[in-house]
Chains A and B, each alone.
Chain A
């Protein structure tokens, strides 16, 4: 018999929080790669692919938050510990690879492929460590089913529906937000995450199933990154074995802002111009997490401001990537570190 990982509500909450953390974990590395591709670049196709994936990761993070709110607990995202300290292993994984912040590169795409690697058929990992993100979601789905049987659905789905993020607030990417109220909608939300992205089952088709939302089907994330690795798009009829046989596109690993790998504010002296600028980026990023925290805690009026910060972060990150680090080779980039300055000036109530 398969091992049941989640046997209590506490464990369910813990796993859902992990899901939120895992989804968030992928975003800064993808963003760094995306922003390192200049607007007028020969890597436009790659930029488009990374952008489409990162938009969907944000959707997945939101879906995970909806799952949490549905079962009556709140995701915790604006705490210092929520932010990864890159380079780092994928959280709650079996630690078999390390993820860094850095520019668009062959190595980065290799890592992205590892992040999005399809799960082995029918596998759901072991205890706290999951080989793939799909396995984590399998454990959650099985846990939800188990707990609904054990406690009754009303005891599991006891969250406030008004806290659910709806399609009013989420837009601009593939897939669709699912309002989670019951086991059925929870399964739909999990299915959405798995089909688009990380949870894809090895050997299945390469396509996500966004046609169900009236959107074009796109390759699942793993295969989208495979397109970059091969410099060629998939087309109808392609399989995981066949590889992509569609339109070829140019990938130029040198046409990027060569951002320093895993930058830290501590690389620069306190009060220096570069450090100040990096700190200002982190201040905004921490503010974004704070606003998302509030939006996921029922203050949906924070969405507009949160989305506004996302746009600003892009412009700020690109600006950082114009500034030489001084090593004669690389440029500065965003470090995505927790800003205690923001915490002190805005969160005194919660310290």
Chain B
């Protein structure tokens, strides 16, 4: 698998599990760094396998992809912990260590954990999800906090 294809699938998968559009993920400037983080932390074969399975599922059953993701991926003992960690990576900008037993079987020998970088903190999707800005960055400007939150 060539890198652009891998990045593309990583983005598709990430968009699906985070609830954000692909371009929103790209807009963080962190797609590539996060791909690297995932690859540093888990065995390459498992990651490729996960991406392929996801690709097959969405191509074969586009109408039912939500339920498939829930039952066959997030509820899966191997894929589930990985996908939840990837969701948190996008939302919080940090890599949470996976359970030890999981890490032993599928992890890489040189895991990184914690907040990846200043920009990963500032680009955490959680802030967009809650219609706020990261605390200490991307400030909204004087007095803007007085107005009622915009309803969607």
Interface residues in chain A, defined as those with a beta carbon under 8 Å from any beta carbon in chain B:
39-40, 273-274, 276-277, 304-305, 307-308, 310-312, 315, 319-320, 322-324
Contact = CB atoms under 8 A, between A and B. Distances in A.
A320 B138 CA distance: 15
30 contacts: A39-B119, A40-B118, A40-B119, A273-B21, A274-B23, A276-B23, A277-B24, A277-B27, A304-B142, A304-B144, A304-B147, A305-B147, A307-B142, A308-B141, A308-B143, A308-B144, A311-B139, A311-B141, A312-B140, A315-B138, A319-B24, A319-B27, A319-B28, A319-B29, A322-B26, A322-B27, A322-B28, A322-B29, A323-B26, A324-B26
Interface residues of B, number: 19
Given A39-B119, A273-B21, A273-B22, A307 B27 contact: no
B28 A307 contact: no
A324 B23 CA distance: 10
B146 interface: yes
A320 B142 contact: no
Contacts of B26: 322-324
Nearest to A272: B23
A44 to B, nearest CB: 15
Interface centre among A307, A310, A323 (most CB of B within 10 A): A323
Contacts of B140: 308, 311-312
A300 to B, nearest CB: 12
Nearest to B22: A273
3 cross-chain pairs, A with B, having the tightest CB-CB distances, nearest first: A319-B27, A308-B144, A322-B29
A304 B146 contact: yes
A346 to B, nearest CB: 14
Contact of B141 (A39, A273, A310): A310
A323 B31 CA distance: 10
A148 B26 CA distance: 57
Given A319-B29, A320-B27, 16 more contacts: A40-B118, A273-B21, A273-B23, A277-B27, A304-B142, A304-B144, A304-B147, A307-B141, A310-B141, A311-B138, A311-B140, A312-B140, A322-B26, A322-B27, A322-B29, A323-B26
A42 to B, nearest CB: 16
Interface in B42-72: none
Interface string B12-28: 00000000011110111
Contacts of A320: 27
A267 to B, nearest CB: 14
Nearest to B144: A308
A319 to B, nearest CB: 3
A304 B143 CA distance: 6
Contact of B144 (A39, A305, A315, A324): A305
A323 B144 contact: no
A277 B119 contact: no
Contacts of B147: 304-305
Contacts of B22: 273
